[in-house]
Amino acid sequence: MELDLAGKRAAIAAASTGLGFAAAAALAAEGCRVAICARTRAPLEEAASRIGAVPLVADVSDCVAAARFVADARDALGGLDILVVNAGGPPTGGYMAFELDAYRKALDLNLLSTIAMCREGVPGMQQQKWGRVVAITSMSARRPKAQAVLTSTARAGASAFLKAMSQEVAADGVTVNSLQPGYHVTARLAQLYGSKADSLRAGIPTGTLGRAEDFGAIVTFLCSTHAAFINGVAIPVDGGAYPGLY
C-alpha cells in the first residue's frame, strides 16, 4: 500500500530506543525526513545515524525543553507535518507509594509534555492545512491499574487533552490520535518486569508480546493519507488483552 509519506517532515519524541525509535525508523523507511530526541547524546546520535535522522538532545519532562525540541525539529526540517508525542514512563506503585511531588513529575513527563509539544507543533500544521499527531500513551489510560497509579493518572489527562484538541483542529486537515501500547518487547518492559516479562504472554489472547517494528508500522499508517478519516481515537495495541468493548 502506498502511504504517500515521502518528503513529509516528522518529529518523534523520546526515540533513541523502543517504540519511539520504531516509529521514527518506520517513518524514515517511508521516505519521511525525521528528527528525534532523547536525553543522552551518545545513544541518541547512534540511533539517529542508523535511520538518517536529525538528533536533538532534549528532556521532554521539562515543558520548555519539550516545546523547544519541536521548534528545533521544525527548524531543522524546514517545517513540520507529523508529530509523534512520546516520553518515558513513570515509576510503578500504588497510590500511597508516592509523595505529591512524584505525581507532579509524572504529570510533567506524560501530560504537560504532551500539551507543550502539541502547542508548539500543531498551530503550524493548521496553517498549512495538513498534519498528523500520533501520541504513544499506554493501556493504563483505558484501564487504570492499582500498581500503575502515576502512569494511569497522567495518561488519562493526556488522552482527554488529545481528544479535545482533535475536535478543534480536524477541520484544518490535522488528525490527532493516540496508540495505547499493551506489553511490547522494549527496554521499558525489561526494566519493569525483568526475567518475568515473557510470562506476560499468558494474559494476552495472541499469546505473544508486541513487536516494536509492528508498532512503528501502525504509526506510519495513522500518518498516511488513507488515515485522514481516523481522528480523535485512542487505539489499543495489546493483542486483545483489554477485555471490554470500549
Q: Which stretch binds ligand NAD (CB under 6 A): 31-39, 125-133, 169-177, 225-233?
A: 31-39
- Return the number of the residue (56 or 169) whose C-beta is nearest ligand NAD: 56
- Residue 189 makes contact with ligand NAD by CB under 6 A: yes
| C-alpha–C-alpha distance, residues 229 and 244, integer Å | 24
Cβ 235 to ligand NAD shortest distance, Å: 13
- Distance separating alpha carbons of residues 24 and 17, to the nearest angstrom: 10
The residues near 191 (Cβ < 8 Å, ≥ 6 apart) are none
- Applying CB under 6 A, the span of 27-35, 96-104, 170-178, 180-188 interacting with ligand NAD comes to 180-188
Tell me how many residues contact ligand NAD (CB under 6 A).
Answer: 28
177 forms part of the interface with ligand NAD (CB under 6 A):
no
CA dist 184 and 172 (Å) reads: 34
Of 175, 167, 140, nearest in space to 155 by CA: 140
> Is there binding between residue 14 and ligand NAD (CB under 6 A)?
yes
State how far the Cα of 109 lies from the Cα of 133, in Å rounded to an integer. 18
Q: Does 186 bind ligand NAD (CB under 6 A)?
A: yes
CA-nearest of 205, 107, 126 to 165 is 126
Binding site for ligand NAD (CB under 6 A): 14-20, 37-39, 58-61, 86-89, 109, 136, 138, 181, 183-184, 186-189
